[in-house]
Structure 1
């Protein structure tokens, strides 16, 4: 077994790296990508420097841990930034700042307004006449808070 490990050259590492990259095509969420890149780095390193098989595997393990950790950290920071600004799947929050023209009189208190492709429950501190342009400035659950456009 030791003799087999001692015969590994840079071509073996390059082939191993390409095989891992081919597995990535099957959809492993980026993990085989970084393992494949690590194997390619070890192959390139081995073509420049004669290193023993123990150091080859330690280099592969080290590069794999470093590259996957860096990718995980990059993705985590990207996801945090995306969570702060996204309104995906938060339809009512997407309505904040929207304007609509009332198609009926709106009394003080609760009523319904048409916004987009549906009607919403709305609350206002003043009454509005038909044709008034109103703005959604706050949302609580499925209730919109409206005021006259300024």
Structure 2
């Protein structure tokens, strides 16, 4: 019954199959079904334009699937490296190298530093209030600071 329906639809079965694969991508994201769906849609478009046999369509689909999967993965990898915030889950790493002024003294190697809307715990040498400090690194949830020149 399914085979008869596919045969009756002809080239449109590739288009419908491509749309089903694209719908699966929405339900199960991971950019795998996307590339197979694109390959099926292209195969359907070629099959609608030219009178090709099912063997050629299957071969074309396999080749287009492989090409679109490889090119798509490479494209997604390049886009992922260009976007995003590498310090998203380590907010303190955003402050490394920046300089701030101490509002309260840094004594016994510990203190607090107000940055934007957050008060950070800091470690470093004993310094009086008003000293300009540079964030050198992060140690867990603490910023490690040193006097800025």
> Which of the five TM-score ranges fits, normalised by the shorter chain?
0.7 to 0.9
**1:63-102 mapped onto 2 (5 Å cutoff):** 63-80=64-81, 86-102=86-102
- State the secondary structure of the residue aligned to 2:124: strand
Counterparts of 1:17 and 1:119 in 2: how far apart (Å)? 52
Counterparts of 1:81 and 1:121 in 2: how far apart (Å)? 32
Counterparts of 2:110 and 2:18 in 1: how far apart (Å)? 64
Moved more, 63-72 or 25-34: 25-34
Q: CA offsets, 1:66-124, max 9 Å, x none?
A: 111111122233445568x71121233122133433233335x7232323323423223
- State the secondary structure of the residue aligned to 1:14: helix
- State the secondary structure of the residue aligned to 1:97: coil
> Is there any run of 5+ residues in structure 1 with no aligned partner, and where?
none
2:132 matched to which residue of 1? Answer: 133
> Is there any run of 5+ residues in structure 2 with no aligned partner, and where?
none
1:23 Cα shift? 2.0
Contact 1:139-1:145 within 8 A present in 2 as well = yes
Contact 2:120-2:143 within 8 A present in 1 as well = no
- State the secondary structure of the residue aligned to 1:100: strand
Judged with a 3 Å threshold, the aligned counterparts in structure 2 of structure 1 residues 105 and 47 are, in CA distance, closer, same or farther, namely closer
Contact 1:39-1:60 within 8 A present in 2 as well = yes
Contact 2:22-2:33 within 8 A present in 1 as well = yes
Corresponding residue pairs, total: 143
Counterparts of 1:71 and 1:113 in 2: how far apart (Å)? 47
